[in-house]
Amino acid sequence: MSDLSLLSQPAHIVAPLLLGWEIERTIDNRKIRVKIVETEAYDQTDIASHSYNGQTERTKVMFQESGHLYVYFTYGMHYCCNIVTGSVGEGSAVLLRSVEPLNEYSFLESTRNKKGIEVTNGPAKLCQALKIDRTYNGHNLTQAPLKLIPKTQLPSESIQRTTRIGISKGKETKWRFYIKQNKYVSRQ
DNA sequence: TGCCTGATGTTCT
DNA sequence: GAACATCAGGCAC
């Protein structure tokens, strides 16, 4: 039983807390574990967020209970996944930008047809590696086959805070967080 | 190493 | 009809 109550806080508080947490993804009886090393926060006051213009059919999961997964499809070929945070109706979430595999390396390399850090060092890459698609939109992260596993909080000295990547609006907001010196971080 | 661009579908205006 | 929370491959330097 994992306690995800920390996730009911605002996204920009939760985003650095999630660094170092693990995800357990079960595929064909394999229990794949990865560590979260890079995140970005988005909420309804944020012009770069999907929830900025209010709730729509696509974004409704962002407005639901925290501890669920918000998966969206972008650029015609990629999925990205977010962890919903805050309280119901708040419209906030944390984008997973990169993760570090902890086991099943060769399996992940085969799902991506890539090796090394290229397997999971980007938001769409990690979704492909872990086989996350829109069927997981709204998934409860306390349940298999996709579980979020809380870990002790990292010391603040090991966390770097910067502006976000890959957006055209809201660039000045420093809501990207990553673990310093981790090679899986997409851009240091 | 770093810039440029094509691929491709969903969402919103 | 345009924009898009991206990626990979190609080419120049």
Which 8-state DSSP code applies to residue A106?
H
Average pLDDT of span A156-175: 93
Average pLDDT over residues A133-144: 96
Q: What is the pLDDT of residue A101?
A: 97
Query: For residue A22, is pLDDT > 90?
Result: yes
Q: Give me the CA A41–C1' C6 separation in Å, rounded.
A: 18
* Residues contacting A75, CB < 8 A, separation 6+: A124
Q: What is the pLDDT of residue A58?
A: 96
Is residue A77's beta carbon less than 7 angstroms from any atom in nucleic acid strand B?
A: yes
For residue A59, say whether its CB is under 7 Å from any atom of strand B: yes
pLDDT band for position A3 (50/70/90)?
A: confident
Nearest-nucleotide field for A40 (CA, C1'): C5
Residue A1: pLDDT over 90:
no
pLDDT(A133) > 70: yes
Predicted pLDDT of residue A167: 92
Strand partners, A25: A32, A146
Q: How far is CA A86 from CA A73, A81, A92, A105, A125, in A?
A: 22, 16, 6, 33, 26
**Mean pLDDT calculated for residue range A83-100:** 97
pLDDT, tens digit, 9 for 90 and up, residues A148-159 = 999 999 999 999
For residue A111, pLDDT beyond 60 = yes
Confidence band of A49 (pLDDT split at 50, 70, 90):
very high
A53 touches strand B (CB under 7 A): yes
**Distance of C1' in C8 from CA in A81, Å:** 20
pLDDT at A2: 57
The confidence score (pLDDT) of residue A89 equals: 96
- Average pLDDT across chain A, whole number: 95
Chain C, protein-covered positions (CB within 7 A)? 3-8
Give me the residue label for tokens 């047809």. A113
Per-residue pLDDT for A56 more than 80?
yes
Residue at the smallest CA–C1' distance to nucleotide B6: A75
CA of A131 and C1' of C1: distance in angstroms?
A: 32
Q: Which of A154, A120, A159, A7 is nearest to A69 (CA)?
A: A7
Q: Which residue approaches C4 most closely, CA to C1'?
A: A75
Q: Are A86 and A92 in contact (CB under 8 A)?
A: yes
**What confidence score (pLDDT) does residue A186 get?**
87
* DSSP single-letter state for residue A102: -
Which of the pair, A169 or A33, is modelled with greater confidence? A33
